[in-house]
Structure 1
Amino acid sequence: MALVTGLWASKTLALAHELDLFTHLSGTAGITIEACAAHYRIAHRPAEMLLTACAALRLLERHGEHYGNTPLAETYLVRGRPLYFGGWIAMADRREYPAWLHLKEALHSNRPLTWDPDRQASLFDGEDPALVATFWEAMYALSITTADVLADSVDLSGVTRLLDVGGGGGANDIALCRRHSHLRATVFDLPFVCALTRPKIEQAGLSDRIDLAEGDFFADAALPDGHDAILLSKILLDWKESDCLTILHKCFTALPPGGQIVVTDLFVDDNKDGPVDAALMSLNMLIETWGRNYTAAEYRSWLAAVGFTGLQTIRFEAPAANGAVVGHKPETNTTFRVS
């Protein structure tokens, strides 16, 4: 029953967020059913049902006749908060939920459903600019809630220059630069993504330490050099295995001998029977991309094939990732062939 009604809970959250209910309640003594009905110009019955459902989901709490934000809602669902998660909620509601209702079609066609590969070169080609902006706001929301955990888990104390490949939003770079005062970072991404990322970096007050490099890791012959570490955060799951190897080979080439690579993602278990969040995110890749969520063992094998050594898997728990695979380019530069 909980599985069947999961959509009900997610749509309740999405609607409350769309109505800006949590932002409206922030800093107030709460709202009564009557005041909610008046504010949204709806009848008493649906107002009562919405507030009751949000309270049952622990998004709101009731004090007497008033419903107010729980600490969870106040932290993640109020616009302007540092860990605001609403971008992901809006993107899932507008872009992904409709495609999930046609999951059987994706299963049989083995093609993305949120965009048309016959007409579009990528999932961003020809998209509504507002929806594209929502997508990247969602990516930032996912990353910012995970970035501090990554900073706690992966040792970058010896790194001075980090290249964040496909690091649109800059959330990881902001968290890592705040953690390591000696670190400088470069976000490498498509031009329009860099334009959307710049305000995030400026708001964080880190424009003097985080640079933006426009490019395309498939179209460009090489990645920017001059960095002693490369981060791939939730990037490779978008692509098929051959594309992942192409990206990893370019990372290997861009690093100096002794350079470090960090691949962080929501890993499927090596025996491929869980965990639930990674397995369901992998199905989400079926409707969104040509990739899937891979195992840590798969990443280690690809990194080894490209030439990285000293491979280590670090496990942690965060909303958008559950671990990282870390490797190093040998001090003696060796050329590997990628098939």
Structure 2
Amino acid sequence: MTATTPSPLPLMELSSGLFVAKTLSVAVRLGLFALIDEQGALTAAEFATRKGLHPRPAEMLLTGCVSLGLLVKNGDRYGNSALAGLYLVPGGRYYFGDYLMMLDGRAYGGWMRLAEAVEENQPTTWDPRVQESIFDAGDPKMVELFWRGMHSLAVFTARALAEAYDFSGVRRLLDVGGGGAAYTIELCRAYPDLTATVFDLPFVCEQTTERIAEAGLSDRITCVGGDFFTDDLPAGHDVALLSSVMHDWSEQEDLSILRRVRAALPSGGRIIISELLMDDDKTGPVPAAMFNLLMLVETQRGWNYTGAEYTRWLREVGCTDVTRVDVHGLSANGVIVGTVG
């Protein structure tokens, strides 16, 4: 290629993204990283025998995982990389595999119908003819898969939020739409004086209560069932958190949510919106832009909004001193904070 002619290599890398994603999800689904964690580094033949695989695909999968930095090869044996050992072994505090299984079992099928979503402006991971929204209680296995995946995605971002924003002055936190309690659990772990209420749909609260108990925080975190479009939110809190909630809905629906949140807070209370924010000129960043398309695949009216849009909405519902704090998370790159006037 000449100095002025771009290489097609970026197109090759973009078009091969599916190869990488499926290599990762299949390795997790087969329990590869868990097996190595339990039994130590394995040869390709040992892996094939343990999992009942033909030696050819077994070695191919291992080679792919080495190339991606998920495994480390020493002689003829394969061991977990530090990345895989920390995030891809079940039971770890920041286990990421549930999110990968959710993508593989639910979202990838919808992405493969992206053209349909673009042409018809309809979600492709669920059928709007039989469900009101993505959050309706449906197939129990799919519901469990979805919420486990959301918790897996949120938990690392929750820790990042705890480090990026100072909650030391907060005593009572209302986590609006906080199903899974990833944020409240991490924030309560980081701030011993904090207590919290998770407000979400009743069937979500059933699962959330179990997670709170497993974390040993039932004395500090409660879960209240309700619908933030129709029900009053619990009072008695000084901060309300909306983490990865606003992107699922239209502007008017988001304003309705914010008005209910504002009504539940005292003067001087704060509203914190945690999201994977689009740049104000809507040119990126790439993770936010791809998540924006995920909203097309997963929702009927959702968008990935900009910090400027959230700032305007907070002011519209009566908040002052609106600021932005950067967050180095997976499902959020920043929070927009407004003080109730």
TM-score range, shorter chain: over 0.9
2:3 match: none
Residue deviations 1:264-316 (CA, integer Å, cap 9, x gap):
00000001111000000110010101201100000000010010110001112
Q: Does 1:91 align with 2:102?
A: yes
SS of 1:231's partner is strand
* TM-score using structure 1 length: 0.95
* TM-score using structure 2 length: 0.95
CA-CA distance at 1:263 after TM superposition: 0.3
How many corresponding residue pairs?
Answer: 329
Which amino acid letter does the alignment assign opposite residue 294 of structure 2? N
Q: 1:136 aligns with which of 125, 147, 157?
A: 147
CA-CA distance at 1:126 after TM superposition: 5.7
Q: Quick one: distance in 2 between partners of 1:123 and 1:27?
A: 37
Q: Does 1:228 align with 2:238?
A: yes
Q: Quick one: distance in 2 between partners of 1:157 and 1:124?
A: 32
2:284 match: 274
Residue deviations 1:10-51 (CA, integer Å, cap 9, x gap):
000110111111111114331101111111222211111000
> Could you tell which deviates more after superposition, 233-242 or 315-324?
315-324
Q: Quick one: distance in 1 between partners of 2:183 and 2:327?
A: 15
Q: Quick one: distance in 2 between partners of 1:281 and 1:267?
A: 10
Aligned residues of 2:137 and 2:203 also touching (Cα < 8 A): no
CA-CA distance at 1:161 after TM superposition: 0.3
Q: Quick one: distance in 1 between partners of 2:102 and 2:190?
A: 29
2:113 match: 102
Q: Quick one: distance in 2 between partners of 1:42 and 1:149?
A: 39
Q: Does 1:111 align with 2:122?
A: yes
Aligned residues of 2:291 and 2:304 also touching (Cα < 8 A): yes
1:333 match: none
Q: Quick one: distance in 2 between partners of 1:178 and 1:47?
A: 41
Q: Quick one: distance in 1 between partners of 2:112 and 2:166?
A: 42
Specify every segment of 5 or more residues in structure 2 that has no aligned partner in the other structure, as ranges: 1-11
Aligned residues of 2:212 and 2:218 also touching (Cα < 8 A): yes
CA-CA distance at 1:59 after TM superposition: 0.7
Aligned residues of 1:29 and 1:66 also touching (Cα < 8 A): no
Q: Quick one: distance in 2 between partners of 1:259 and 1:133?
A: 34
Cα RMSD (Å): 1.0
Q: 2:216 aligns with which of 201, 205, 218?
A: 205
Closer, same or farther in 2 for the Cα pair 1:295/1:20, shift >3 Å?
Answer: same
2:259 match: 249
2:85 match: 74
Which amino acid letter does the alignment assign opposite residue 225 of structure 1? A
Percent sequence identity over aligned pairs: 49
SS of 2:101's partner is helix
